[in-house]
Amino acid sequence: MREIQSLARGLKILNRLAEANGTVSITTIASDLQIDKGSASLLLQTLANYGFAEKDPHTRQYKLGPSVVQLSRSLLTKMPLRETAKPFLLQLVHDTGECAHLGVLSQGKVLYIDQVESSQTLRVNTEVGFTAPLHCTALGKVLMAWNATEMPVDFPRATPRTIVDPKMMQFELDKTRSLGYAMDDEEFNLGVRCIAAPVIDYRGKVIGALGISGPAARLPIDRIPEMAKKVTAIAQALSDRMSFIKQD
Amino acid sequence: MREIQSLARGLKILNRLAEANGTVSITTIASDLQIDKGSASLLLQTLANYGFAEKDPHTRQYKLGPSVVQLSRSLLTKMPLRETAKPFLLQLVHDTGECAHLGVLSQGKVLYIDQVESSQTLRVNTEVGFTAPLHCTALGKVLMAWNATEMPVDFPRATPRTIVDPKMMQFELDKTRSLGYAMDDEEFNLGVRCIAAPVIDYRGKVIGALGISGPAARLPIDRIPEMAKKVTAIAQALSDRMSFIKQD
DNA sequence: TACCTGCGTTGTATATTATACAACCACATT
DNA sequence: AATGTGGTTGTATAATATACAACGCAGGTA
């Protein structure tokens, strides 16, 4: 597998800009990514030429440019899974009263590609594009359970309840596969529980996961099976629908 | 201005993937962008390694990868203009009953950064990321009027009412500057009128535009001044607020 | 089934071009 | 005004992207 170095460097810079809080200086980028200051300058200029980065002419610092927003829209609007899933997410919110998510694998993480909030809260959809670790989210466990290659090497702790032992995780994934759904029991955010189930392709491949999340108080352990039934039912219905979509 | 060729090629490929409908083959990309088939293959592989492109293993075709969605979210959630503008957009929708937009300049086009739909329609925010030509949109005229460098060379016709003559456009921009707002009189979509006003920085720079759009029937010519007053009032209020934001 | 065609990948030699280094310049800070 | 930090740019070098060609694979067709 050959890789074009300068392109790879440019992409790494984009990721670096994305994880920064504000703007970033060239020297910071250069030292973080171990590349020459002058080379970094050229790469940033190129990124800026195409709108992928933007330079504040005053501070001479860089940040992400607007082109990435265009690309994102292009991807999201053409994604059959997302388009198809929308009504199912709405239905799920209606059935459970909790907010619903749709996620896919991206670079060893869960990428949230759609979300429907429960009734009262009318917050906008900024959570689209959010990424979370696989091992401490319900969506992530589902994606791991049916994509063996995607198992991360370490499981950093997010809360006291996070599963950090690989053996325990194996057990957890076995359970997920046999039950047909996964749960996140305050393993990512304290006080929040999630339940997720797989979305299956026309080829039988797990291409995504959908689920609900809510405060632990509204999702007590003894109600989990009942709620999980609703989640798996919707996921199954969506999978059935997806089986007609040949594309991709 | 030096440009890193291979990075530039990679970014061009991303744009090419974005404008495609479905997936794209390597040969198509190579011939469209006038690059060697083998080189294109390497570039695509590199893009795929970082999640910026995705290869369908079956058809061997490529499409955009999920990383762009992450980048987009990172940009949008950290954009002070967008965060600050939200309540003003909501207010504008409340005041006028029409749907409101917020846009910025990107690569010689208007990029829609946020949108609030009027009451009944509950469509999701997929229009974020949409781009339109400058010369036939109200937002675009505003951005052009106060950014002299951004004048495009040609003005392709979108509807019979599109202004295609550069002289006429100069007049239009003069009018925009003196009135403090711009209008799109069915110049982009037949039956749709828009009104937009500038959003101004703490430095006095026009950093964006906000506006409303609605069916011509609800926005007759004789009601334009009255509606424009509401738009400019909100834009002014947002500008005042933005004057406290030093960042960027 | 066998052949053919079109497409993607990969090996390799070449020279293009990215890179590192250093000098220069612009700011900001003291 | 002087000093230091950080960005840009010129230039020589060699690393590396590139083009070309050969190979392999899959799909379609006879």
Contact B107 A50 (CB under 8 A): yes
Closest residue in B to A15 (Cα) is B71
Ranges A40-54, B120-134, B183-197: which has the least confidence: B120-134
Q: Which domain holds residue B48?
A: 5-69
CA distance B30 to chain A (A): 16
Q: Are residues B30 and B85 in the same domain?
A: no
Q: What is the mean pLDDT of residues A93-108?
A: 92
- B74 within a domain of the structure (yes/no): no
Contact A213, A228 (CB under 8 A): no
Query: Does the CB of B5 fall within 7 Å of any strand C atom?
Result: yes
Q: Are residues B114 and B222 in the same domain?
A: yes
- CB-CB neighbours of A170 under 10 Å: 11
- CB-CB neighbours of B37 under 10 Å: 11
Is pLDDT above 60 for A113?
Answer: yes
Is pLDDT above 90 for B120?
Answer: no
* CA-based R_g, chain B, Å: 20
Number of domains composing chain A: 2
Q: Name residues whose C-beta falls within 8 Å of residue B203's C-beta, 6 or more positions apart in sequence.
A: none
Q: Of B69, B89, B105, which residue is a domain's last?
A: B69
Q: Does A8 touch chain B (CB under 8 A)?
A: yes
Cα distance between residue B117 and residue B124, in whole Å: 9
Q: What angle do CA A154, A177, A195 make, to 5 degrees?
A: 80
Q: Are residues B83 and B60 in the same domain?
A: no
From residue A160, alpha-carbon distances to A184, A203, B189, B204 in Å are 13, 38, 55, 50
Q: Are residues A217 and A121 in the same domain?
A: yes
Question: Tokens 């970014």 appear where?
Answer: B11
pLDDT band for position B246 (50/70/90)? low
User: For position B92, what pLDDT does the model report?
Assistant: 95
Cα distance between residue B124 and residue B96, in whole Å: 20
B interface mutation test: which of A12, A47, A73 has the most B CBs within 10 A?
A73
Q: Are residues B19 and B112 in the same domain?
A: no
Q: Are residues B137 and B216 in the same domain?
A: yes
Contact A21 B78 (CB under 8 A): yes
Q: Are residues B53 and B88 in the same domain?
A: no
User: Which one is predicted more confidently, B94 or A152?
Assistant: B94
- Residue B81 has which token pair? 């203009």
Q: Are residues A129 and A87 in the same domain?
A: yes
pLDDT band for position B116 (50/70/90)? confident
Q: What is the mean pLDDT of residues B115-130?
A: 69
Cα distance between residue A196 and residue A92, in whole Å: 11
pLDDT tens digits along A131-168: 999 999 999 999 999 998 778 888 999 999 999 999 99
pLDDT band for position B122 (50/70/90)? very low
pLDDT band for position B123 (50/70/90)? very low
Contact A98, A219 (CB under 8 A): yes
Query: What stretch of H or E contains B12?
Result: helix B5-19
Is pLDDT above 50 for A123?
Answer: no
Query: Which of residues 6-45 of B have CB within 7 Å of strand C?
Result: 6, 25-27, 37-38, 41-42, 44-45
Q: Are residues B129 and B233 in the same domain?
A: yes
User: For position B127, what pLDDT does the model report?
Assistant: 82
Q: What is the mean pLDDT of residues B39-63?
A: 93
User: Which one is predicted more confidently, B123 or A6?
Assistant: A6
User: For position A124, what pLDDT does the model report?
Assistant: 45
Q: Does B27 touch chain A (CB under 8 A)?
A: no
Chain A window 41-80: which residues touch B at a Cβ cutoff of 8 Å? 42-43, 45-47, 49-52, 56, 63-78
Strands (E), A65-205: 99-106, 109-116, 131-133, 182-185, 192-200
Q: What CATH number has the domain bearing residue B220?
A: 3.30.450.40
Q: Are residues A50 and A106 in the same domain?
A: no
pLDDT band for position B1 (50/70/90)? low
